[in-house]
Amino acid sequence: MTTLAQVLLVSVLAVPALGALVVALLPARHDRGARIVATVFAAVTFVLTVLLVVPDAEYGWFTYTDGPPALLPWIDVSASWVPALGLDFHLGVDGISYPLVVLTGLLTLLCCAYTVSKVPGGGRGRTLAALLLVLEVGILGTFLALDLVLFFIFFEVVLLPMYAVIAGWGGPDRRRAARKFVLYTLFGSLLLLLGVFTVVVAAGTGDLMALTGGTGLSRTVQYVAFALFAVAFAVKAPLWPLHTWLPDAHTEAPTVGSVILAGVLLKMGTYGLIRVGVGVAPLGAAWAAPVLGILAVAAILVGSLVCLRQTELKRLIAYSSVGHMGFVLLGIATLTVTGLQAALIGNVAHGVITGLLFFLAGAIKDRAHTGALADLGGLRETAPRLAGLLAFASIASLGLPGLAGFWGEAFAVVAATERGGPLWITLAVLAAIGGALTAAYFLRLLRRVTHGPASPAVAGFAGVDRPEWLAWSPLVLLALAIGLVPALVLAATADPVAALTGALP
Amino acid sequence: MIAEVFGTALFGVPVLAGLLGLLLPAGDGGRARRRRAAALGIAGAAFALADAVFLLLVADDPVEFGVEAVRFGELPVTFGVSLGPAALYVALAVTVVALFVQIYSVGYLHDDPRYAPYAAQISIFTGAMLLVVSAGDLIMLLVGWEVMGVCSYLLIGHDRRLPEAPRAAVKAFLVTRVGDVGFLLGIALLGVSAGSFEISAVLASPPAHLTVALLLILAGVAGKSAQFPLHTWLPDAMAGPTPISALIHAATMVAAGVYVVFRLFPLFARSPGALAVLGVMAAITLLLGALAATAQDDLKRVLAWSTVSQIGYMTGALAVGSPAAALFHLLTHAAFKALLFLAAGAVIHAVGTNLMSRMGGLRPHLPRTFWAFVIGLGALAGLPPLAGFWSKENVLVAAAHAADGEGPAPAWVGWVVWVAGLLGVAITAWYATRLLLRTFFGHARSRTDEWHVGFDDARYERGPGAAHDPPGLMLWPVQLLAIPAALLGLAAFLPGFRSALELEAPHLEVSIVLPLILLAAGAGSSWWLWHTAPGVDPAQALGRWRPLFAAGFRLDDVQDRLVVRPVRALATALRLLDERVVDAAVEGTGTSTTRLGVVLANAHRAALPRAAVAVFAGALVLGVVAAIYGAAS
């Protein structure tokens, strides 16, 4: 029986897919019109993602004989697709995926709206808008998929449109950066594919609802599968030392590409690690947790120290992502409810704040025609609003309590402390020091860019215009709202996360 | 219900006023725009003040409530307010100072184009401090704590014309943030062991490694309250506009650390180790700050170092087990230090420089400011019956008691704090007298073109006429603050006030003789030096120690060598490692694959005879393999 909620769930993917098709088919002379159409489709998709919170009427009325399953979606849709491969078209949404789904809907909408008036040089605006919608399908599909093979397919769908966005609309060195991005992440995908088939062959099903909790998988299979998953997702997240595709891709990508890349694409890695890695192979996760924790803290420290010595605006923000994702991965590595929840809110906060930072960095670069910190300076003299927003985003990103970034970082540290023992306490201490270093490089950034006398590059800056306000203000408000009311993200996560960690040894 | 609303509004309204104020357009918007910003700022502070007074008068029981805001696993974070009588007095001090600072700033920054964000940031700053004061949950407290750090950063860096301002702002935030690494870890340890971050729960179930957790908390306290070795940011923070100095030094920021120790004191009382560390830290800070203050030429820097030293008295009182004395000194210090800074602003406004070597003979021209300084410096030095006398007396008595072995702290800690406190009295009297004489007495020094090199944040060029008292908007806050600076000490005779702070009654016994003698000795020697060699800085008497004191014992250099440079070097090395090794490996994989492809492609590009030979050779090999395989099976 198909309920309204299930129709809703499928249409979350169908609407942007249809939108991409429509936009791509519109004649070239209606370029601006096509971008507006794309924005409308993105807006509808966003509304639909928000509505997913309305649970199925039957939800909550099941009775279970042997306790609830480890994964219980609010809504799910299942249809057999390729029986020979054991592939089902199985989608579902729960408290873990919901915030990320909404974030994806929001950022795509903002990027489409931004593209209506600002098309980066390199290609047609409507093609870019269509690619953004295709990207959205892939990312939403990844977050919604409840079948391992389907998850892999969506994971891959994202790759080529992103390649096209970077290679088509990026900066001067865009082709090299795009190639590096696609080859590096393909390498990760290869391992993911191996992992998926290891699990599917061993368990005889790809259904995540059945697989979560590691039922039916031997210890060895779980170890192998987790190792494969971990490396695959570590490339995507990215986890040090598998991060070097990121700075190049970010520096060269157009503004909207960077926003999507940092805002939601990286989250596919961390989400995958929680849902697939920890979910399907809990024994493997427990086995690899210390290594993961050490690498996460290394990412925090290396990321922030490298940022201290960066000289380019977008590259600095890209590296800051390495540090922030390090906090998220540290939260996951603790394998505690506290840590996983910190990782989830850290994910969302990073998407909001770094999305905003890339919007701002893009706006500054477009105006100044340079991203070199040495050439920028005195922004608050010529563009006080832009400088104020940059200060806000930087302060949010350095984890100021009361803004979104705080919860994920502070509670990753708390979770490591909670875990206890010499290793995890050391990791907590190092991560906390990383927090101080994060403040150091963001303040250095602000001092270079906003303070001091106005440099020639920032002279005659245009103020923040209406499309920019439209795209940025939701992110500003969200950074503040999540900071003040973290329950916005975390309210529904407690049960699924507790169920997930329940399967851990 | 009323308590909930007013308890939340205490910090909520100033923060809201600040957030609204940030939305106001910056830039030179003319009078109407400035008036809106000023009205918003003053209204926020005035409301908070009225709220604090209302709660103090109406609430019989402490305002206590908490609702769970979010839950991380087993750890709930509550949105909770806990306002006892002592906290309300601190809130009162915060709001009074904040209100006066807002009013004063209207006059002081009357031609600053970025006044609107400035006033808004003061509002947020005030709200954040009030959040620290009223928080019933450590995470909430941390929110206020860090927001305050950011506001101090923004405000210290406010002045666009001072090249040193951005650097001082970054330093203030980073040094305190380094302390906050410990603070966060300490909170994590306390919270994890108590299973909750609520302060009442944390106080009830101390962790196994209590001393470790408290030392971590103390790291944060040292950063915020400018205690050795994390005090280095405070003197540099003088680059901020003078009213901001008043705010940071008197009621917010530096007071927060002392307040947190006060709040968690039941835990500290159980850990002699933490108290001993606190006591040693306090004694070092107290003497270091006082000695550094003796050699400064910058009026505001004298006051800044005096704050470092006076906070040392507060932490010293905490270390010897007397949180009440610490809080009392915090309150009196808030009054007289706010007075001194605002009055210093009036002087700077009048003469257009911060340097005392360019002042002198100002008494006839600034009579009201002069009297404000007399009261403020008298209170600072501990001259009876001004406010500082009573509170400092309390601290010294508490230290003497601890030296007798009473209280939770080891006796030697009592001795250390007592001796340092007594020496501090003499040194404080010395530099306070020097400041007064150098600024207001003697001959007016001739004006040269170099006059405007100091912290010129007032944006006032001295007019053609003689120096004069400031306009009413600046003068009234100064005059009104003189009242508590003079009289607040007598509050120790009020039973209601005493019971709120759990303060002991003032002792007017023999024990006050020694501090008074030291006070007279300090002030007298300073006067004598000035009197015998008119026009010469009494600090000349410090001889070769003077540069060392003036540089704050060169601890900035130590910090630079030990922390800043190694971190920078490490960062440079890691960046190279990241680019030359990690990324090079990735790129290398790509290029070597391409190169291998080229080699293989070349191998396949062969002329027909060689290609034919290769095909036959391949067929032969396959045939042989097949034959062997077939024979074997």
- A306-350 pLDDT per residue, tens: 888 888 888 899 889 999 999 999 999 999 989 999 999 999 999
End of a domain among B550, B571, B597? B550
Q: How many domains would you assign to chain B?
A: 2
The verdict on residue B68 lying in a domain is: no
Q: B145: which chain A residues are within 8 Å (Cβ-Cβ)?
A: 401
Does residue B565 share a domain with residue B527?
no
Does residue B472 share a domain with residue B576?
no
Q: Any CB–CB contact under 8 A between B480 and chain A?
A: no
The verdict on residue B312 lying in a domain is: yes
Tell me whether residues B72 and A337 touch, CB distance under 8 A. Answer: yes
Please name the member of B167, B185, B578 whose beta carbon is closest to the beta carbon of A302: B578
d(CA A330, CA A296): 5
- Cβ atoms of A464 and A476 within 8 Å: the answer is no
pLDDT level of residue A96 (50, 70, 90 thresholds): confident
So what's the pLDDT on residue B464? 47
Tell me whether residues B575 and A305 touch, CB distance under 8 A. Answer: yes
Residue with tokens 């370029």: A31
Question: What tokens does A238 get?
Answer: 């990215």
d(CA B82, CA A298): 39
Question: What tokens does A427 get?
Answer: 């990791």
Q: Within 10 Å of residue B551's Cβ, how many Cβ atoms?
A: 14
- Cβ atoms of A23 and A129 within 8 Å: the answer is yes
d(CA B549, CA B294): 7
d(CA B360, CA B345): 16
So what's the pLDDT on residue B445? 67
The verdict on residue B406 lying in a domain is: yes
The verdict on residue B95 lying in a domain is: no
So what's the pLDDT on residue A415? 92
Does residue B567 share a domain with residue B537?
no
The verdict on residue B130 lying in a domain is: no
Chain B residues 575-594 with a CB less than 8 Å from chain A:
575, 578, 582-583, 586-587, 590
How close are the terminal C-alpha atoms of chain A, in Å? 38
- Cβ atoms of A260 and A108 within 8 Å: the answer is yes
Q: Which residue of B lies nearest to A378 if distances are taken between CA atoms? A: B160
User: What are the residues facing B64 on neighbouring strands?
Assistant: B82
The verdict on residue B563 lying in a domain is: yes
Higher pLDDT pick, B287 / A244? B287
Does residue B585 share a domain with residue B533?
no
Does residue B563 share a domain with residue B518?
no
d(CA A233, CA A242): 10
Q: What is the ipTM, given to two decimal places? A: 0.89
Q: Any CB–CB contact under 8 A between B543 and chain A?
A: no
Cα R_g (chain A), whole angstroms: 22
So what's the pLDDT on residue B26? 63
Q: B157: which chain A residues are within 8 Å (Cβ-Cβ)?
A: 451
Angle (CA) B504-B505-B511 rounded to 5° is 95
So what's the pLDDT on residue B465? 55
Dihedrals φ, ψ of B281, to 5°?
A: -60, -45
Q: A439: which chain B residues are within 8 Å (Cβ-Cβ)?
A: 173-174, 177
Q: Any CB–CB contact under 8 A between B568 and chain A?
A: yes
Tell me whether residues B189 and A417 touch, CB distance under 8 A. Answer: yes
Across the range A103-118, mean pLDDT stands at 89
Does residue B603 share a domain with residue B573?
yes
**Domain range spanning residue B603?**
559-632
pLDDT level of residue A66 (50, 70, 90 thresholds): very low
What pTM value is reported for the model?
0.90
What tens digit of pLDDT does each residue of A196-209 get? 888 888 887 888 88
Q: Which of A357, A368, A359 is closest to A461 using CA atoms?
A: A368
Q: Which of A488, A388, A86, A108 is closest to B116 using CA atoms?
A: A388
Tell me whether residues B71 and A429 touch, CB distance under 8 A. Answer: no
d(CA A439, CA A391): 12
Q: B70: which chain A residues are within 8 Å (Cβ-Cβ)?
A: 407, 485-487, 490-491
Does residue B500 share a domain with residue B614?
no
The verdict on residue B408 lying in a domain is: yes
End of a domain among B550, B569, B598? B550
Q: Within 10 Å of residue B502's Cβ, how many Cβ atoms?
A: 12
Three-state DSSP state, B459: coil
Residue ranges for chain B with pLDDT beneath 70: 26-30, 445-466, 507-508, 633
Does residue B501 share a domain with residue B393?
yes
End of a domain among B515, B550, B585? B550
Does residue B518 share a domain with residue B567?
no
Residue count (chain A): 505
Does residue B574 share a domain with residue B451?
no
d(CA A204, CA A428): 40
The string of DSSP letters for A19-54 reads HHHHHHHS-GGGHHHHHHHHHHHHHHHHHHHHHTTS
Give, as one character, the DSSP assignment of residue A66. S
Computed over every residue of chain A, the mean pLDDT equals 86
- Cβ atoms of A193 and A152 within 8 Å: the answer is yes
Which of A216-230, A442-456, B62-76, B314-328: highest mean pLDDT?
B314-328
The verdict on residue B503 lying in a domain is: yes
What tens digit of pLDDT does each residue of A323-333 get? 999 999 999 99
Task: Label each residue of A165-228 as H, E or C.
Answer: HHHHHCCCCHHHHHHHHHHHHHHHHHHHHHHHHHHHHHHCCCEHHHHCCCCCCCHHHHHHHHHH
Alpha helices in A91-173 (DSSP H): 98-117, 125-144, 148-157, 159-169
Does residue B424 share a domain with residue B361?
yes
d(CA A498, CA B72): 11
Does residue B609 share a domain with residue B520?
no
**The residue type at A167:** A
What tens digit of pLDDT does each residue of B567-593 get? 888 888 888 888 888 888 888 888 888
- Cβ atoms of B361 and B441 within 8 Å: the answer is yes
So what's the pLDDT on residue A420? 83
Angle (CA) A405-A411-A416 rounded to 5° is 135
Label residue A196 exposed, middle or buried (CB < 10 Å: 0-12, 13-18, 19+): buried
